[in-house]
Amino acid sequence: MGKFKNILVRTISDISHGEFLLRLNIGRYFIHILYLIVVFTLTIWISLMIDTTMTEVEKNKAIIREQEIEMSVLEFKLAEMESRIVVEQKLDDMGSKLKQPSKPAKRLK
């Protein structure tokens, strides 16, 4: 147990002093290890950016669906208001003297 404790303390000391790779005799691969760390970090960062973008896309799709529903309701209301009967009733309610024409329109030359 004492030998394990000594190895653990020595390993922690080497890691804190930056000599761990030299102790394992893989110092010549330091550039490759550093490259892997950079690649893994970039991969994680890009993955998080993609996830954030996809979340925003889904949120925007929901907003678009809601706006499409509102638009169809407004189009229905507008189409309902354009009917002649509704227009005549509104004009009567407002006290207007305008009525539906009884004769066809005349062309001026």
Question: DSSP per residue over 47-60, as a string?
Answer: HHHHHHHHHHHHHH
Answer whether 76's CB lies under 8 Å from 70's CB: no
* Range 78-94 average pLDDT: 79
pTM of the model: 0.50
For 17-71, the pLDDT digits (tens) are 777 767 777 777 878 888 999 999 999 999 999 999 999 999 999 999 999 999 9
Taking a C-beta distance cutoff of 8 angstroms, is the pair 21, 33 a contact?
A: yes
The predicted pLDDT at position 82 comes to 73
- The CB density around residue 27, as the number of other CB atoms within 10 Å, is 13
**Residue 94 is encoded by which pair of tokens?**
């407002």
CA–CA dist 42, 50 (Å, integer) = 12
Q: What pLDDT, on a 0 to 100 scale, did the predictor assign at position 105? A: 74
